[in-house]
Chains A and B, each alone.
Chain A
């Protein structure tokens, strides 16, 4: 294979497609990175939701008679 005979094509490309001069990053991308990390993080369940679930479970264990009433109100 001859890799030297593409000079005319290189010239044609150079004439019509410029090498980028400005490759400088003009702003800090860390805030976007944090947003991206937050989006991917699993949603956190607030502590009071856990407390409510524990209370409800305890109530159902200690007062099983409350189950029909609970189902009625659901």
Chain B
């Protein structure tokens, strides 16, 4: 019997093989969204738990990697929904290692907080499109939504950020 068929039938050894084949890609996907390695490890396990639980619904002729990618994106999105109000961001979010002036530090902090306060579904697409520079098509496939909806969500996320960060723009414009 083929690996995917054995997995769908509940074979734990087949699941282990698939886990080891895909854990790195799933982790990389999640860490780009949640931006914290510990949380990403927990969510990787959560993703594979969801996959194992719904193995009976998996079509052995289908693409396991694409399915895992989608489940991982949803697990990360669920995490963003739960942690939306925890605006303390992980340290690895800072853009460069150069020391900040007090004003730069304050600006950076405001941008990070504004970003963290975005609703989860907007934060997901904004992180992937604006920070990780992923294509709209790739985001759409992973999130299980249309490319048009991804574009709309990015547009709305940008509008929300603009609103929150309007004073910063004025400061910038005044300086130039």
Contact = CB atoms under 8 A, between A and B. Distances in A.
Interface of A: 1, 3, 6, 8-10, 12-20, 22-25, 27-30, 32-33, 36-37, 40
Classify chain B's interface size. Answer: 35 or more
A5 to B, nearest CB: 9
Contacts of B149: none
10 contacts: A12-B168, A16-B108, A18-B92, A18-B93, A20-B35, A20-B132, A25-B24, A36-B45, A37-B12, A40-B49
Nearest to A27: B41
Interface in B55-101: 92-96
Contacts of A29: 19, 23, 27, 41, 44-45
Grouping DSSP codes into helix (H, G, I), strand (E, B) and loop, the B interface class, with mixed when no group exceeds half, is: helix
Contacts of A33: 19, 45, 48-49
A9 B151 CA distance: 15
Contacts of A27: 41
Given A12-B168, A24-B28, A33-B19, A17 B112 contact: yes
A17 B155 contact: no
A12 B168 CA distance: 10
B16 interface: yes
Interface string B34-46: 0100000100110
A24 B95 contact: no
Given A30-B16, A36-B45, A12 B155 contact: no
A32 B20 contact: no
